[in-house]
Structures are given as C-alpha cells and as structure tokens.
Amino acid sequence: MLARVPYLLAVLGIAFAAPHSAPKIKERIHAPRDWINVGDAPSNHVVPLRIALPQSNFQELERHLYEISDPDNVRYGEHLSKEEVEELVAPHPDSVHAVNEWLAGHDISEGDCVRSPAKDWITVHVPVAKAEAMLDTKFHVWKHAKDEDSVVRTTSYSLPEHMHAHIELIQPTTLFSRLTGYRATSHFSGAQEHPAATSGTITVNGHEVDASCTTTITVSCLKQLYNAVDYVPAATQKNSIALTGYLDQFANFADLQQFYADQVPAAVNSTFNVTFINGGVNNQTLSAAGGEADLDVQFALGIAFPTPGTFYTTGGSPPFIPDTDEPFNDNEPYDAWLDYVLAQKTLPQTISTSYGENEQTVPESYAKRVCAGFAQLGARGVSLLVGSGDAGVGDGDPDPATQTCLTNDGRNATEFLPGFPASCPFVTAVGGTTNIPEVAVDFSGGGFSNYFARPSYQESAVTEFLTKQLPNGTYEGLYNPAGRAIPDVSAQADYFRIFLSGQVVSIGGTSAASPAFAGFVSLLNDARLSHGLPPLGFLNPLLYTRGLSGFHDITSGNAPGCGTPGFNATVGWDPVTGLGTPDFGKLKNIVL
C-alpha cells in the first residue's frame, strides 16, 4: 500500500466550523470572445454537473510518476496499479462527507450521484433551476458567432464559503472551450493527390528513402525515414495501441482495408476494436467516414501492425439547441473519456489524440484537473501523444492572416496562444515537419503555456533555447518564458496518403504527426515487452535525457502566427519541432 501524505486537517477544521456559511465566488470569467448571450436558459433544461473533489495526495502521485519515468531512477518502469493510483487521488473522507451533506441539502440523494472509481468526481444531472440555486448563479444560452453552436453556461458561480476547501471545481459552468480536431483543413486536398515525384532514392540521415516520399507520405516512407524498415513486432499478445475519436469522427473499416491493400498488404483482413464511450458511435456509412478518424487509425495501425489497435469513440459534445428537448449538453468529452479509461483494469500502452483547443478557452482549474487525469495514465504505464496544433503560435485559426491572437481575460491583449492539452506537462506534444530532408512545417503548433510551469525535465533544453535563440527581448510580452514548452517532439505532418470514403486523398496536420509518432512509440513498447521489460509509460523524462541522441534535429523552418514569423526551428530543442524527429533504431537501442 502506498503511503498517504497528511491532509490539511487544520484547513478542514476551519471549514467545518462554519457549516452554514454564505455563498462566495468560486470561479468567475470574462464573457469569452465570439460567444453571445442570447437569453436565459430554460429552467427545466438538464445540465450534468460534474463536481471535482480535491485529490488529497496528487503531489505524491506526481512524485511517483517522475520516479518511475526517470531512466536514471532505480524505480524506472515500476508503474502503479489502478488501485494504487486511485488510492493516491482519492479525496479525503472529510471532503466526501461535506459534499454529501451539501448535496443532501439540495435534495440530491446518493442514488442521484455517479462517482468515479477514485470517488474524486461526482456527476449529478439537475435542471437549470436547481443548478442556479446550488451555485447561486444564473445560466444563459450562449451562441457562437461563427457557427451558431449554442451552450448553456454562466460566467461565474458560488459555493458556501465552508465548501471551497472540499470542492475544486464544478463544470460545465464556465467552460466555453471548443474541442476541435487538429487537422489543417487548409492542407486537405480532397481527391487531388500531391504531384508525383521522380523515381529513385534519397539518402537522409544515413538511410535510403524513396524519392516519392518528398511529395506523398506513406507508411513505408515513414519507416524508411525513421529507421524502422526491418523491425517486426513480436509482443502482440501483450502490446496494444489506441486512438481517440470525438466530434462524430468515424473510423471506417472499408477505408482501412483499401489503405492496407495500398500500403500494408500483410495487414489486409485485419481490423481494430471499437470502444463506445458516453454514447459514442462509429457510423460505417461510407459517406460518414471522418478524415481525422481514418487518418489516425490508418497510419498508427499501419506503422504498428500487427499490434492490436482500439478506436475510442467518445460522444458528449452535442450543442444545446434551445427549441428542442435535448435533455442535457455535455461539451466535456475529455472527462467522459478519462472516466472510462481510468476505470479499466488494463490499458493500451500507447494512446494518440489529435484533438485540442486554445488553452485560454479552457478554465485553468479545469485544464489542471484534466491534466491530472493524464498524469494518472502515465503513472499506470501509458504513453499519451497529442498533436501540438495547426496554427503555429496563433489562436487556432489555420490562416495566419485572419488570426486575432487576443487574450480572453478582458484585456484583449495580443499574445501567442498555446494549445491544450498539448500544454499539459504529462503528455508528449507532437509538432510537425515536411519535405525530405525535413524542415518545420509552417503550421506546427508551439509556444509556452500560461497555465503550467516549465517542468524540470525541460529545464536544460528550453533554457538553452531562450538564452541563445531569443536574445534581447525577442517577442517579449507575447509569451510566458516560464511556461511548459511545446512541442516535445515532431514527425512528418503533411501530404499523408489516406483512403476516405473510398477515395484516395492527401491530408495534413499535427493530427497526422501524432498518430505517426505514436506508431513508432508502440514499436518501442513492443521491443521492451519482447525483452521482458515494462512499457515506456510517460515518455518525456526519458526523451529529454537519454533519448536525446535518438532524434534527428530539425534546424530549418518556422511557424508564423499573430502577425509575426513565429518561432524558428534551430539547433537543439525549439518551440516548432521540439527535440526533432525519431530515429527508431537508435531509440530502440536506448530503451533496451
């Protein structure tokens, strides 16, 4: 059993001294840009309030995570069990008791509550009228100016003062985020393939690469470029890889078969498992196939074949439509996905997600709580890869000419805007490259978090970049030099040849780079498992130390945004391509 860190009993004692304290603001935000208040929310509209109780021992979990992820620590690879993680994040019994009493005071019984396995989240479905009474607030219908999606939200909520020590946050209240696929739609070329290249080969980093790879990226191209041509997975009974799907992105089985016939003939007639979460579906009508979903499964599974694969399809992002009987709107699929995977006894060793949003559109308290969920995955031995974004240093708009890059805090100041969840220090953020030899692709998301401090594993690499590459106050005031730096690594991110709705298309984005990189991580996990070693788990402490020699440094290119050229790719780590692109052969030798 893991040791528990003593809880702040003194604080709790003070809290219980005032059981009937007056409401006090728990969270307040400025009305977010592009969201328009169109009126009061219907009193009978049902909202799924998710109540986060403080994770009393999260600092201890974080200590364990860094020890078992540090290749120079004697505990390296000693991942925690589901039960050990739950013990560390479980709320203090006093908080559980206090929240139960508060809920009972609003006529919410235990039967109305859905609790996470660690009891650190409680979900209750209540009508707007009751939510307003519980939170001393007023909910409104908000419509987005660009696409007219609507949500029921408030810009502030309150709790009795004595409850502040027992409730970390409640959502959806102030969460106006807009989860999107990190696909560079301006780089999606429909049925038109990139022009054919000349025949022959090119020598890159000591490896022969087909010249056709300069214009069209295939599984074979990536294996040649990243030195994995001869590797044959051997631990397929132990190893697995997974991709996440949101926003009605459906992965098509027929498209995968065409892709395999085209690029991985040995994989024809193999497929992937589908896990349905929170009402997620996977419509197999050919016209419903999603470019994001098809890209993810085709390249990640194509690279890792014959490693078993899973596609998580998560529902829970329908907009509220005021003139329908929509029972509730749940725009927090991260929560739904984390609830499911953290409840599982066994997990895929490698998971990739190609979805995200502007960090500033996610309330800081919520972003940190979701990030803590990702830390739990790392502690259990999962390598989680995420795309770094497709707008350079900009605001999510892939067209630099129309980016506003304005803060959402009422100042309307111009700043570089990092993406989330790439900004979470417990994930591996993947930027993008293009061409052969590789250069930074011009949409590769990068920068510095405003929510998360720079983690210790980045200190040396990022400090060197700031000192040598941004002298004399370059971009001063536009970014947070003390923040978690993005991305960590990179991979090819444009002109990927996929099959979509039965047609060959070319697609790009860090949504291509993340599943591609994840495919090679899965092969590294296979190598370790084949040698009786545990999976890699949280990658970053390894990558920034022993792993450095296993990357091709990308020193050319930049990713513009916010009316600037953005950051440059340069020698060493940089906020465009991170540490660079992988050399699987070298990394395999490093991790064995």
What domains, with CATH codes, occur in the chain? Answer: 9-181 (no CATH), 185-314+349-591 (3.40.50.200)
Cβ pair 162, 101 in contact under 8 A: no
Q: What is the pLDDT along the chain (592 residues), one digit of tens a residue?
A: 454 444 444 344 434 444 568 999 999 998 888 889 999 999 999 999 999 999 989 999 999 999 999 999 999 999 999 999 999 999 999 999 999 999 999 999 999 999 999 999 999 999 999 999 999 999 999 988 877 778 899 999 999 999 999 999 999 999 887 766 555 433 444 444 444 556 789 999 888 999 999 999 999 999 999 999 999 999 999 999 999 988 778 999 999 999 999 999 999 999 999 999 988 889 999 988 889 999 999 999 999 999 999 999 988 654 555 544 444 444 557 788 999 999 999 999 999 998 888 898 888 999 999 999 999 999 999 999 999 999 899 866 656 566 678 888 888 888 999 999 999 999 999 999 999 999 999 999 999 999 999 999 999 999 999 999 887 788 999 999 999 999 999 999 999 999 999 999 999 999 999 999 999 999 999 999 999 999 999 999 999 999 999 999 999 999 998 889 999 999 999 999 999 999 999 999 999 9
Q: Is 292 known to be catalytic?
A: yes
67: left (phi over 0), alpha (psi -120 to 50) or beta: alpha
Task: Determine whether 296 is an active site residue.
Answer: yes
Residue among 94, 296, 332, 395 flagged as catalytic: 296
pLDDT tens-digit profile of 293-324?
A: 999 999 999 999 999 999 999 886 545 555 44
Please give the pLDDT value at position 103.
97
Res 432: pLDDT: 97
Q: What is the pLDDT of residue 396?
A: 63
Which string of DSSP letters, residue by residue, matches 525-556? HHHHHHTTPPP--S-HHHHTTGGGGGEEPP-S
- The pLDDT, as a whole number, for residue 413 is 87
Instruction: Give the model's pLDDT for residue 545.
Output: 98
Q: What pTM did the predictor assign?
A: 0.92
Q: Which two tokens stand for residue 263?
A: 């690029």
Report the greatest alpha carbon distance in the chain.
Answer: 78
* Per-residue model confidence (pLDDT) at position 72: 97
> Residue 376: its pLDDT value, please?
98
pLDDT value at residue 411: 85
Kindly name the residue from 511, 514, 522, 526 that is annotated as catalytic.
511
Determine the 3-state secondary structure of 129 from DSSP.
helix
Contact 581, 228 (CB under 8 A): no
Q: Which residues contact 324 (CB under 8 A, 6 or more apart)?
A: none
- The 10s digit of each residue's pLDDT in 162-196 is 999 999 999 999 988 776 655 543 344 444 444 45
For the beta carbon of residue 151, count every other beta carbon within 10 angstroms.
Answer: 22
- The pLDDT value given to residue 192: 43
Tokens matching residue 487: 């991305």
pLDDT at 11: 41
pLDDT of residue 170: 96
- Considering the candidates 86, 168, 292, 395, report the single residue annotated as catalytic: 292
What's the rounded Cα separation, in Å, for the pair 432 and 438? 10
Q: Identify the H or E element spanning 208.
A: strand 207-210
DSSP codes of every residue in 484-520: EEE-SEEEE-S-EEEEETTEEEEE-SHHHHHHHHHHH
Q: In three state form, how does the secondary structure of 385-442 look?
A: EEECCCCCCCCCCCCHHHCCCECCCCCCCECCCCEECCCCCCCEEEEEEECCCCEECC
Is 511 a known active-site residue? yes
